[in-house]
A and B are shown apart, each in its own frame.
Chain A
Amino acid sequence: MGMEENLLFYATFAAYGLAAFLYICFLVLRKPALARIAFYVTAAGVVVNTAALAMRSIVAGYVPLTNGYEFLLAFSWGIAFVYLFAERKFQVPVAGAFVIPTAWLLLAYVAVDMSPAERAARPLMPALQSNWLTIHVTTAMIAYGAFAFSFGIGLMYLWKVASEKSGATRGLAAAFPASEKLDEIGYRLIALGFPFLTLCIITGAIWAEFAWGRYWSWDPKETWSLITWLVYAAYLHARFTYGWRGSRAAWMAIIGFLAVLFTYFGVNYFLSGWHTYASE
């Protein structure tokens, strides 16, 4: 990995770290200026993050979404990018304290746990040389970004409700938007992400059909993307039919995002581990 690439990565990492810190300060101190600065720092982070992705695609000569490092860089981009728009739309700067740390933690994982060799651009294996890859992963970034935000909102909701129940009128949660508003925002984000997740799965299937002649083969990654999809589908149905709002909806948003993370990390680290263990 070249020096410029490394520089861009650490600049992105620093920007999200700083933004996360500012948002958390805003959560505690409630000085609007902090949230404003944090917003611009996040925006700067997205710019550097975009540059890091662009640099990688120039260096590697393909859309930079093929190994763990590249995907995490794209994942954090999706979270921060969706965040910028949704914060403006829903006017909930305090959510930054919950969402931006997620983007930062993903990059922290790269910084701590990935060796330079793992981060390096590697030539694509033949099956990955497909235009479907681009659209497949772009849709994943948007869907995962929206789900990460709904996860943050879910946490805020539970915190808010717990503090209301305990009768606290002061404290951090008092500054959160009303619980109904949080609930609605959480839903809107999932409603944004769900069609993109569907598109992501479908484009993956089309690509698999071209590459291997099998649009669906039940491999663990595919299956976990389906499980994630089923969790969000259940969320949407329960919401409309049984009026599952509030805490139950917040929990489902949290479970849904955990399924997203598991699809990414768990399948690679836990399930493959089990397979190696089982075959020895």
Chain B
Amino acid sequence: MIQSQEEREDASGTNRGLVDRIWDIFSSMKLGLFLLLLIAVASIIGTVIPQNGDPRQYGSLYSLYSALGLIDMYHSSWFMILLFLLAMNLFICTFNRAPGIWRQFSRPSLPTGAESVGGLATERPEPVDELARHVSELWQRLGYRVFSESRDGKHYIYADKGRFGLWGSLLSHVGMLVILIGGVVGLYGGEEGRMPAEVGKTFRFADVPGLPKDENLEIQVNDFRTVFREDGTIADWFSNLTLLENGREIMTKEIQVNDPLEYRGYKVYQAFYGSHIVAKITSKNDPEGHAYTVEEGDVIPVAGTDLAVLVYKYIPDFDPARGMISKSSEPHNPRIVFVVYKGRQQIDARAAEIGKAETIAGGLAEVTFPQYKPYTGLSIRRDPGVNIVWFGCAWLLIGLALSFYIFHRQVRAVVEAREGGSRLHVGGTAAKNKIAFADEFQRLIEPYCHTDRKGMEA
């Protein structure tokens, strides 16, 4: 990193302007570290303060939170700026480091002298050339890549192993950068809409809020089923959909959760479900009655009385023995369970047949459910950034694997002539995994450390 900075200064002369200074700030790891921690702290705040909540739940703090961008923090401009700064930092760090890594990867520098090697020095009986050859061969055999050069009667040797690990951090940073870019592309280039659609209905994408107005795709809902388990819990939802483009049929697919329909970058998800229930209520004071379209869980007050009807639940295959748990997923005996309240007190609960009037509260009123129309809740999205994000994730993982599972270690040696033999200076360094490298280094220099041992291996 230092080398590449020097190079750049050489190229631009001594004129260090504002751009250079900004460049330097952004290339610093200090900023990177600071940003990482700042984003972490901001994210903690974002999980403590409820996001996108109802204004009432923040009480008197609402205007303060809102002004600070804490209500929808992850989309606020200051959070975006933090992410942008992080991206700049990643980009410039990567840019700065790449040449140095490439140099070290392709043609590393040989030791310049015995002092630069450090480590240990040992006397050997062999002549310089023989010892240097032996060292090179041994290290090569141990899987090292060896560079050597002979100058002024001395041998300079550089050897390293695991050099692909050098690229690890760079690749993971590129991966992070690509993920951030993918996120931004999705944020600004993506669309999203939600649509409740009854069986038999056809709707145009253009009519779904959030989707482009000029989109000529249509969805026809052929079927929608909720599949229950024995114990009454929901196993899955299925929607049978036909996709049309300019009125022409493109495909028909049965979607379920975790298995969306995909076409032209759009994905249609099984996201939610519900039903439109028509309830007609007549009472002594309102003999004509009123029809309401409601959903499960809604409460209808009975006009002119203190009665109210809670439309509780639709049961497709009602069996009194099983109560609220449907006997099957098929509508063999569909019923709508409703609860009658007088004031706040529950006075009755029944399972009404579709279309059959139920007299309640001793004849004070009458409830009929003429229609039950289930709808499938579809979520339609197009996110042009998502593949960019996956691409970035792949780079990130490759980078991390290189970085943490392949570690680069290097050894340097200088062999010089001594009376009656030679002197070997050898030192090794590893940025990571130092304990393991210490053992490995012993193996690298083992034959040369014990002069009392019988000669060297052939």
B258–A123 CB distance below 8 A: no
A198–B47 CB distance below 8 A: no
B259–A210 CB distance below 8 A: yes
A207 contact set on B, CB distance < 8 A:
258
> Which B37-93 residues have a C-beta within 8 angstroms of A?
37, 39-40, 43-44, 46-48, 50-51, 53-54, 57-58, 74
A220–B47 CB distance below 8 A: yes
Q: How far is the CB of B443 from chain A (nearest CB, A)?
A: 18
| Any A CB within 8 A of the CB of B400 | yes
| Interface mask (B259-288 → A, CB under 8 Å = 1, otherwise 0) | 110000001011100000000000000000
B43–A202 CB distance below 8 A: no
**Listed A/B pairs (23) with beta-carbon separation below 8 Å:** A126-B234, A127-B257, A129-B257, A129-B258, A188-B433, A191-B432, A195-B397, A195-B405, A198-B400, A210-B258, A213-B383, A215-B389, A218-B46, A223-B46, A223-B47, A227-B44, A230-B36, A234-B36, A241-B29, A241-B33, A274-B48, A279-B50, A279-B57
> Which A79-104 residues have a C-beta within 8 angstroms of B?
none
Cα of A267 to Cα of B51 in the assembled complex, Å: 15
Partner of B47, one of A130, A184, A267: A267
| Any A CB within 8 A of the CB of B240 | no
B51–A194 CB distance below 8 A: no
Partner of B57, one of A213, A230, A278: A278
A188 contact set on B, CB distance < 8 A:
433, 435
A125 contact set on B, CB distance < 8 A:
233-234
| Interface mask (B410-450 → A, CB under 8 Å = 1, otherwise 0) | 00000000000000000000011111000000000000000
B269 contact set on A, CB distance < 8 A:
211-213
A230 contact set on B, CB distance < 8 A:
36-37, 39-40, 43
B386–A209 CB distance below 8 A: yes
Q: How far is the CB of A258 from chain B (nearest CB, A)?
A: 12
Q: How far is the CB of B208 from chain A (nearest CB, A)?
A: 14
| Any B CB within 8 A of the CB of A271 | yes
A108 contact set on B, CB distance < 8 A:
none
Partner of A202, one of B33, B234, B236, B397: B397
A interface residues, how many (CB within 8 angstroms): 51
Q: How far is the CB of B377 from chain A (nearest CB, A)?
A: 12
Interface residues of A (CB under 8 A from B): 122-123, 125-127, 129-130, 181, 184-185, 187-188, 191-192, 194-195, 198-199, 202, 205-207, 209-216, 218, 220, 223-224, 226-227, 230-231, 233-234, 237-238, 240-242, 267, 271, 274-275, 278-279
B381 contact set on A, CB distance < 8 A:
213-214
B43–A227 CB distance below 8 A: yes
Q: Which of the listed residues A129, A192, A216, A223 has the most CB atoms from chain B within 10 Å of its own CB?
A: A223
Cα of A192 to Cα of B405 in the assembled complex, Å: 8
A123–B43 CB distance below 8 A: no
Which single residue of chain B is at the shortest CB-CB distance from A122? B233
Which single residue of chain A is at the shortest CB-CB distance from B432? A191
A206–B435 CB distance below 8 A: no
B379–A213 CB distance below 8 A: yes
B183–A218 CB distance below 8 A: no
| Interface mask (B172-200 → A, CB under 8 Å = 1, otherwise 0) | 00000000000100000000100000000
Cα of A278 to Cα of B379 in the assembled complex, Å: 28
Q: How far is the CB of B255 from chain A (nearest CB, A)?
A: 11
Partner of A224, one of B47, B192, B383, B404: B47
B435 contact set on A, CB distance < 8 A:
181, 184-185, 188
B431–A240 CB distance below 8 A: yes
A-B contact count (CB 8 A): 121
B237 contact set on A, CB distance < 8 A:
126
| Interface mask (B198-233 → A, CB under 8 Å = 1, otherwise 0) | 000000000000000000000000000000010101
| Any A CB within 8 A of the CB of B396 | yes
B40–A234 CB distance below 8 A: yes
| Interface mask (B388-402 → A, CB under 8 Å = 1, otherwise 0) | 011001001100110
Cα of A114 to Cα of B256 in the assembled complex, Å: 33
Which single residue of chain B is at the shortest CB-CB distance from A132? B258
A274 contact set on B, CB distance < 8 A:
48, 50
Which single residue of chain A is at the shortest CB-CB distance from B234? A126
A129-B257, A226-B43, A227-B40 given as contacts; is B74 within 8 A of A218 (CB)? yes
Cα of A64 to Cα of B183 in the assembled complex, Å: 32
B404–A195 CB distance below 8 A: yes
A226 contact set on B, CB distance < 8 A:
40, 43
A191 contact set on B, CB distance < 8 A:
404, 432
A123-B233, A233-B36, A271-B48 given as contacts; is B258 within 8 A of A278 (CB)? no
A195-B404, A198-B400, A218-B46 given as contacts; is B393 within 8 A of A210 (CB)? no
Q: How far is the CB of B289 from chain A (nearest CB, A)?
A: 36
Which single residue of chain A is at the shortest CB-CB distance from B44? A227
A199-B397, A218-B51, A223-B46 given as contacts; is B33 within 8 A of A211 (CB)? no
Q: Which of the listed residues B53, B58, B237, B386 has the most CB atoms from chain A within 10 Å of its own CB?
A: B386
B256 contact set on A, CB distance < 8 A:
126
B400–A195 CB distance below 8 A: yes
Cα of A241 to Cα of B233 in the assembled complex, Å: 53
Cα of A198 to Cα of B396 in the assembled complex, Å: 9
Q: How far is the CB of A80 from chain B (nearest CB, A)?
A: 23
| Any A CB within 8 A of the CB of B22 | no
Cα of A271 to Cα of B45 in the assembled complex, Å: 11
| Any A CB within 8 A of the CB of B235 | yes
Q: How far is the CB of B229 from chain A (nearest CB, A)?
A: 6
Partner of A211, one of B183, B258, B401: B258
| Any A CB within 8 A of the CB of B384 | no
B397 contact set on A, CB distance < 8 A:
195, 198-199, 202
A194–B404 CB distance below 8 A: yes
Q: How far is the CB of A228 from chain B (nearest CB, A)?
A: 9
Q: How far is the CB of A221 from chain B (nearest CB, A)?
A: 9
B316 contact set on A, CB distance < 8 A:
none
Q: How far is the CB of A173 from chain B (nearest CB, A)?
A: 20
Cα of A29 to Cα of B379 in the assembled complex, Å: 63
Which single residue of chain B is at the shortest CB-CB distance from A231? B40
B389 contact set on A, CB distance < 8 A:
205, 215
| Any A CB within 8 A of the CB of B374 | no
Cα of A123 to Cα of B229 in the assembled complex, Å: 9
Q: How far is the CB of B277 from chain A (nearest CB, A)?
A: 23
